[in-house]
Chain A
Amino acid sequence: SAVISQKPSRDICQRGTSLTIQCQVDSQVTMMFWYRQQPGQSLTLIATANQGSEATYESGFVIDKFPISRPNLTFSTLTVSNMSPEDSSIYLCSVEASLGGSRYEQYFGPGTRLTVT
């Protein structure tokens, strides 16, 4: 398995500001992802964080709004830029971790609960 930590765990921010969320994994992983969970909703994939190259964004998400960094195989950041109340959500980092051989599984971090006022 993989142990994932996120910082901050929660924050309250003013509209128009930006917040950077950090995701740290205890082992090297190839695949890292960022998801959003809006209040009372399911999870939606924002982007795949690729090491050494630009992130791959899903439809409806753009780099200017959600810039992502992936400087190495254990760390990634997601920035929520120019925030509005609609950005209030839980942001979760996930990783695909090898279980040995060709087996792998996806694990989620504890999430960052963001409230924009």
Chain B
Amino acid sequence: ELKVEQNPLFLSMQEGKNYTIYCNYSTTSDRLYWYRQDPGKSLESLFVLLSNGAVKQEGRLMASLDTKARLSTLHITAAVHDLSATYFCAVETSGSRLTFGEGTQLTVNP
């Protein structure tokens, strides 16, 4: 059974600081997603990582994938309040099925 573990589960950080969210998974996969969810809202796709060594950046967020280590990271640079949300990683397996991590609830304080 595929397990996807995120850490930390809760993250409170100050504006302007940097931090990394980690996503470990237990089986082979070549496709990993990062999603953002605001309270009471659906999921917004942030990144799709397709291969080993993939790195994608959008604004203050950068995601990377190491398929050999079965690890993805979401790095936040110079956090701002608008980044406060819950972030999920999701690993795709056969049949395009997604297994989600537990989510990281990020709060950015002024």
Contact = CB atoms under 8 A, between A and B. Distances in A.
> Bound pair: A and B?
yes
A96 B90 CA distance: 14
A115 to B, nearest CB: 13
Interface in A3-48: 31, 33, 35, 41-45, 48
A42 B100 contact: yes
A58 B33 CA distance: 20
Secondary structure class of chain A's binding surface, majority of residues: strand
Helix, strand, loop or mixed for chain B's interface? Answer: strand
Given A33-B97, A42-B88, A44-B100, A92 B42 contact: yes
Contacts of A44: 100
Contacts of A58: 97
B95 A108 contact: no
A106 interface: yes
Interface string B90-107: 101001111111110000
A42 B45 contact: no
B24 to A, nearest CB: 15
Given A42-B103, A43-B88, A105 B97 contact: no
A45 B101 contact: no
B43 A92 contact: yes
Given A41-B102, A48-B96, A108-B43, 8 more contacts: A43-B98, A44-B100, A48-B97, A105-B48, A108-B42, A109-B42, A111-B41, A111-B42
